Chain A
Amino acid sequence: MSIAAATAREVTRSTIATGRSKDRTPTSILFLGALWFSLFFGVMVLIVLIVDTAIHGAPRFDANLVTRYDSVIRPAETGFRAGILGTVWLMVTTAVLAVPLGIAAALHLEEFADGRRWWNRFIEVNLQNLAAVPSIVYGLLAVAVMALLGYERKGIVLGGAIALALLILPVIIITTREAVRAVPREIREASLALGATRWQTTWRQTLPSAVPGIATGTILGLSRAIGEAAPLLLLGIAGAVRFDPDGLGSAVTALPIQIFSLSSNSQEEFQQAASAAIVVLLAMILLLNGLAIFIRNKFQRTW
C-alpha cells in the first residue's frame, strides 16, 4: 500500500502544482499504444503465419493431397493419406487410454479425497508438476513402457498413443476437476438427503451435470495432442508410411511428423508439401476447437 500512497501523493502534488491532469500525457498515451501492440502482436503473427503458409502451399491444394501416400520420388504429388488416417487412429486410441483414467482420477480428487491426508496433497502437487513436464520426456517414458510391455517393433499406434495419453492425462484431470467443481453443492446435498450414497450421487447427479465441461476440456486436450510431434519422434514413428494403419500394432505416421520430416528438406516441392500439410493440420485442429466451443455454448448451463 505504501507504493500506492507514495505514487498517488506525488501525482496529486504535481497535478495541483501544474493544474494539468495526468491521464492524457504523451507517456500514458504511448503506454496504452504499447499495450495495444502487445495484445495484437500475437494475432498479427498468426495472420502472417497462416497467410504465408497458405500462399506457399497453394499449388498443392488438390485431391492428391489427401488421397495419395507419401512419395519421395515425385514430391510434387506427395500426399498425406497415411498421416491423416494415422493421426485419427492415434487420437482415438489416446482418448480411449486417457479419458476414463483422467475422469476417474479427477473424481477421486474432487469428490472423495480427503485433503488432510498427505497422499492426496502429494497427488495434487505431483499433478501440478506433471502438467509442466516437457513433452519429449513423455516420449522417453513411453519408450520405457513399450519395452516393459514387450513390444519390439518401433513406430506403432499403441506406442504413440501411450505417449500422447501420458501427455494429456494431467490436462484432462485438471479440466475435469474444474467442470466437477462447477456443479453446485445443492445438487449433491439433495441427492445425499434422499438417501443416495456418495458414489450414486457422483455417478447419477454430479457427473452427468459436468459432462459438457468435461467434453470441452477433453477435446481441447486432444487437439493439443494432435499437433505434438516430439514424443512421437522418440517412439520411432517415421515420416514415410505407405499404407493405412489397421490395428494397434500397425506401423503408423502422423501429420506433425510428416511435416517435420518434409521441413528438414530444403527442396521447393517438399516445402510446398509441408505448407499444404500444415494447412490440413490446422484445419483439423480448428475443427476440434470449433467442436469444443459448440459443445460449450450448446450444452453448458449456468446454475
Chain B
Amino acid sequence: MSTGTTGSIGAGPPPVGAGRPAQPVNLRARSRPGETAIKGVLLLSALVSVAITVGILGALIQPVIGFFEEVPLGDFFTTEGKYAVLPLVGATFMVTAIALAVAVPLGLGAAMYLSEYASPRMRRSLKPAVELLAGVPSVVYGFFAISFVTPTLLQGLLNIDVGFTNALSAGLVLGVMIIPTIASLAEDALSAVPQALRHGSLALGANRMQTTLRVVLPAALSGVAAAIVLGMSRAVGETMIVALAAGAQRNLSLDPREGMQTMTGFIAQTAQGENPVGSTSYNTLFAVGLLLFVITLVINVVSISIVRRFRQVY
C-alpha cells in the first residue's frame, strides 16, 4: 500500500469483466506509456467487432443504392418479375417453419430430459452427443438431403410425391441442424429454474411430468423462447442446405413438396454465376443480402430483448 492517496476506490455496479477485481485497483505510482499503448491496442481490437458491423452495413448499402437507382422499389418488393424478392422471402419462411416444426419439439424434448431427468453424470456425456449434430458442416447436411432424405425417405419410404428439389426435405434437414442450438440454450434456461420450485411441486403431489411441463417450463419460458428465436435466425440464414435441396426456382407457393428458392439460396446461386461487378444483377445480390441481414438482425434483437425483459428474478 505505497500509494494510499489515490482515492479512486469507489463502489459501483459490477464491471463487464467478472474476473477482474471487484473494485478498480489503481495502486500504480506512475503511469507507464507502454502499458497505455497496450491498452490502446486491446481496445482497438475490441473495436474491430464494431468496425465489422459498420463494414457489413457499408459493404451492403453502397451496391444497394446502385441497385435501387435502376430498379424501383415496387419491382423489388413484389411477387412477379426478375427482381421480385417476395417469392424468396416466402420460401425462406416456409423452409424455416418446417425446420422449426422439427427442431422445437425435439430440441425441447432433449432439453427437458437433460435438465429434469438425466443425472449430472449422464448429462455430461449426453449433452456433447446432441451437440455433435452442430459440428456437421451444412454442405454435408445438404448432400444428405438430396442423396437420402428426398429419394429414400420421402419418395421411397413415405411415398410422398416430391420433386428432386423440394422445400420439405430442405426444411426437415435444416430442422435437424438447429436441434442442438435450441436444445442447448433451452437446457440452460430450464436448469436455471431454482430447485425450490420443483421441490414445492413434487411435495404437493405432482409427478415429474407435471412438474416439468407445468412448473419448470413456464418458469423458464423466456429463456426457451429466446432459444427458439435464435434457432429461427439460424434457419433463416443457413445457406448450403437450401442451395442444394430446396431448388432454384422462384416459387411463391404454400406447397412444401415443390421446389422453391430462398434468399440465401438465391445469393449462393447468383454468386456462382458470372455477373460483372456493378451490374444490376450483381447488385441484386447485395439488396437480398441486406434484406437478409436486416431480418436476422431484427430476430436477434428480439431474442436478446426477450431474455432481458422477461428474465425472471427468483
Contacts and interface: CB of A to CB of B under 8 A. Distances in A.
Interface residues of A, number: 113
Contacts of A4: 197, 200-201, 204, 206, 214-215
A134 B25 contact: no
Given A35-B112, A192-B21, A230-B268, A278 B300 contact: no
Given A227-B140, A263-B143, A169 B180 contact: no
A282 B207 contact: no
Contact of B237 (A53, A114, A137, A170): A137
Contacts of A105: 42, 45-46, 48-49
Contacts of B117: 32, 35
A192 B25 contact: yes
B208 to A, nearest CB: 7
Interface residues of B, number: 111
Contact of B19 (A143, A183, A192, A289): A183
A173 B209 CA distance: 39
B32 A197 contact: yes
Contacts of B236: 134
Interface SS of chain A:
helix
Contacts of B27: 192
Interface string B1-41: 00000000000111111111110110110001011001101
Interface SS of chain B:
helix
Nearest to A104: B45
A31 interface: yes
A53 B50 CA distance: 41
A8 B35 contact: no
Nearest to A25: B207
B108 interface: yes
B130 interface: yes
B156 interface: no
A39 B239 contact: no
B192 interface: no
A45 to B, nearest CB: 5
Given A115-B15, A256-B137, A285-B137, A135 B144 contact: no
A257 B232 CA distance: 25
Nearest to B146: A263
Contacts of B304: 125, 128-129
B6 to A, nearest CB: 13
B176 interface: yes
A183 B106 CA distance: 36
A141 B56 contact: yes
Interface stretch (A9-17, A72-80, A242-250): A9-17
A206 B113 CA distance: 37
Contacts of A156: none
B244 A263 contact: yes
A130 B289 contact: no
A189 B17 CA distance: 14
Contacts of B24: 114
Nearest to A166: B52
